[in-house]
Amino acid sequence: MKKRFQNLLNYILKVLARAMIWRYRPGIIGVTGSVGKTGTKQAIVAVFGSDRRVRASHGNFNTSLGHPLTILGDWRDDELKLFSLENKIGENRARKSWFLIKVIFLSLFRLIFKKPYPELLILEYGVDRPGDMRELLQIVRPNIAIITAIGEIPAHVEYFSGPEAVGREKARLIEFLPAAGFAILNSDDMTVMNVKERTRAKIINFGFGSLATVRITNFEHRTSSDGMIGTNFKIEYGGSFVPMRLNNCIGKSHAYAVAASVCVGLIFGLNLVRIAENLKNYRALKGRSLILKGVKDTLIIDDSYNASPMSMHAGLDTLKSLKAKRKIAVLGDMLEIGEYTLEAHEEIGRLVAKSADLLITVGSRAKFIAEGAKKAKMQRKYIKEFETADDARIAVQDIMRKGDLVLVKASRSMELDKIVEEIRMPDELNIKN
């Protein structure tokens, strides 16, 4: 009975969400990809600043429940947290049900009595399994769609027949665009570019390559006497360019997010100077290539939110490119990559041997990272292996020394954020924007 009641509430929410879209007619910007969705969404919010009323989905609320909740209202963090991964299925059922009932009644009120509503909704379209995109598109279809990156071994490929199937599923987002819509595609990702023929919408590309309509150039990490504090690059479009300066975040993933958001701003008639000014408010979220001060006068690259082979490569490339007395890679399992698990983890290990001085692994799959590093001639004395984040966090702090740079990265359920909390300085002593 409880399950049936929950399903009924979810169905009602979807119906109400479709009705709300019909009632208020907001523009819909959809973002999908294997990496970079949330950063891109945050950058788009920053681009519009106070120029337009916008609402973005909360965190990674990119499911068939997250979309209706975003469409129907701007809810408190503690209410939305009830449906996060931190709350297991079956927990807080009463509170969840009462909240959803509240959403239903308030939504009915807003449908009957017209109230101020966002001009634009920015929604993540998350795909874990075949059919997920179709289900989300049945709730709401975008006018502008962005595919951030997919890569050769995408996240969640375990549930598909292969990487191409993941690409096809995500490409549904641009298939359903109207002819007057826009598809914004990462020109550096061949898996993304291979699906461009599947839309009738106008196409805008972004990336580092010469084929990009909105191009990233002069990319570099900014340093100070305290260490790395941000990223500098230029955005070029139509023969003009603007410099970009991002604080407390490093890595090309943020440059890609900014470039995609610039495409959106241009579509809405904003000029490059205005866009660059608004993007000064862009901030990296917790666990997404965020720079933090660590204990013992160290620096941390907190990339603990999630991991896939593509984002692991990017994280290690960033680590390799930076200067430090010692570089420590704290890496955990990459989940949901199925038959590619052994191959992908060993490949990461080979990259670690070229990028870091010490390797600390967390999890059963991450042992293959250690094996890959050993095969690449990294000495065993520089490799430490642990089963869980709780096992590793004190050991990581003991290993750290003044001047170290520490990269922390793994799939979300590995809980490497616990290690970050153990080795970081308190907020009041950390880097300020």
pLDDT of residue 159: 86
Please say which residue of 221, 252, 281 terminates a domain: 281
Residue 289 has pLDDT above 70, yes or no: yes
SS3 36: coil
Indicate the DSSP class of residue 403: T
Number of H helices, E strands in the chain: 15, 15
Question: How many beta carbons lie within 10 A of that of residue 304, not counting itself?
Answer: 28
User: Model-level pTM greater than 0.85?
Assistant: yes
CA atoms within 13 A on the CB side of 181: 22
pLDDT bracket for residue 227 (50, 70, 90) = low
Structure tokens at 251: 């890595």
SS3 340: helix
Backbone angles phi, psi at 243, to 5 degrees: -80, 145
Say how far residue 275 (Cα) sits from the centre of its chain.
Answer: 21
Same domain, 93 and 201: yes
d(CA 195, CA 167): 7
d(CA 155, CA 34): 6
| Contact criterion met (CB below 8 Å) for 288 and 41 | no
Same domain, 159 and 15: yes
pLDDT of residue 382: 97
| Contact criterion met (CB below 8 Å) for 130 and 317 | no
Q: What is the mean pLDDT of residues 369-376?
A: 97
Stretch among 60-64, 125-129, 262-266, 338-342 having the lowest mean pLDDT: 60-64
Reported as a single tens digit per residue, the pLDDT across 263-275 is: 999 999 999 999 9
Residue 7 has pLDDT above 90, yes or no: no
d(CA 311, CA 149): 10
pLDDT above 90 coverage of the chain, percent: 75
Domain ranges, residue 317: 290-429
Q: What is the mean pLDDT of residues 381-390?
A: 97
Please say which residue of 247, 281, 315 terminates a domain: 281
Same domain, 117 and 221: yes
Same domain, 336 and 415: yes
Same domain, 400 and 334: yes
Characterize the bridge pairing of strands 290-294 and 298-303: antiparallel
Q: What is the mean pLDDT of residues 305-310?
A: 92
pLDDT bracket for residue 242 (50, 70, 90) = very high
Q: What is the mean pLDDT of residues 82-96?
A: 70
Positive/negative CA dihedral, 383, 386, 314, 219: negative
Stretch among 13-22, 221-230, 264-273 having the lowest mean pLDDT: 221-230
Structure tokens at 355: 């990028």
Q: What is the mean pLDDT of residues 225-242?
A: 86
Same domain, 272 and 333: no
pLDDT of residue 2: 62
Radius of gyration in angstroms for the set of CA atoms belonging to the chain, rounded to a whole number: 22
Residue 132 has pLDDT above 60, yes or no: yes
| Contact criterion met (CB below 8 Å) for 293 and 185 | no
Residue with tokens 């595919």: 147
pLDDT of residue 1: 44
Same domain, 15 and 62: yes
Residue 175 has pLDDT above 70, yes or no: yes
Q: What is the mean pLDDT of residues 90-112?
A: 88
Please say which residue of 257, 281, 305 terminates a domain: 281
pLDDT of residue 188: 96
Angle subtended by helix axes 252-267 and 37-48, to nearest 10: 50
Q: Rounded mean pLDDT of the chain?
A: 91
Nearest to 296 by CA among 333, 318, 325, 266: 325
Nearest to 433 by CA among 283, 318, 288: 283
Same domain, 178 and 210: yes
Residue 222 has pLDDT above 90, yes or no: no
Q: What is the mean pLDDT of residues 44-60?
A: 89
pLDDT of residue 9: 80
CATH number of domain containing 389: 3.90.190.20
pLDDT of residue 432: 54
Order the strands of the 120-124 sheet from edge to edge: 54-56, 120-124, 27-32, 144-147, 182-186, 202-207, 214-224, 227-237, 240-247
pLDDT of residue 90: 62
d(CA 195, CA 212): 16
Backbone angles phi, psi at 219, to 5 degrees: -75, 130
Residue 429 has pLDDT above 60, yes or no: no
Structure tokens at 137: 């598109």
Say how far residue 76 (Cα) sits from the centre of its chain.
Answer: 21
Same domain, 226 and 368: no
Nearest to 394 by CA among 370, 369, 365, 360: 360
pLDDT bracket for residue 335 (50, 70, 90) = very high
Q: What is the mean pLDDT of residues 294-323?
A: 94
CATH number of domain containing 122: 3.40.1190.10
Domains identified in the chain, total number: 2
Same domain, 216 and 301: no
Q: What is the mean pLDDT of residues 158-177?
A: 90
Same domain, 240 and 365: no
Reported as a single tens digit per residue, the pLDDT across 66-87 is: 899 999 999 988 888 887 666 5
Same domain, 341 and 209: no
SS3 309: helix
Residue 27 has pLDDT above 70, yes or no: yes
pLDDT of residue 76: 87
Stretch among 160-164, 169-173, 365-369 having the lowest mean pLDDT: 160-164
Structure tokens at 67: 């979309």
